[in-house]
Amino acid sequence: MNPSLLRQIWSQVEETQTTVLLQLDDNSLVYLLLNQLQKHHFLSAPEADQVMQYISSKLSLIRDLALSR
């Protein structure tokens, strides 16, 4: 995954409301962030899979960051 895409993922996390980050279940949150990212950036199927795996692996961190806002 390239650095630009990683920055976009984390920017999307920052732009998403705290309540959304904390209230959605894991799958819903992964798909929400992926869909928001795809509005601004075309992702091939393999890239989308990579993004989903990356977001899934960072859900605890995403929620910890949301709690600290």
Q: Which tens digit of pLDDT belongs to each residue from 5-41?
A: 999 999 999 999 999 999 999 999 999 999 999 998 8
pLDDT at 26: 98
Whole-number pLDDT of residue 7:
97
Tokens of 68: 């600290």
Residue 28 C-beta-side C-alpha neighbours within 13 Å: 6
Q: Taking a C-beta distance cutoff of 8 angstroms, is the pair 63, 30 a contact?
A: no
Distance CA 67, CA 5 (A): 24
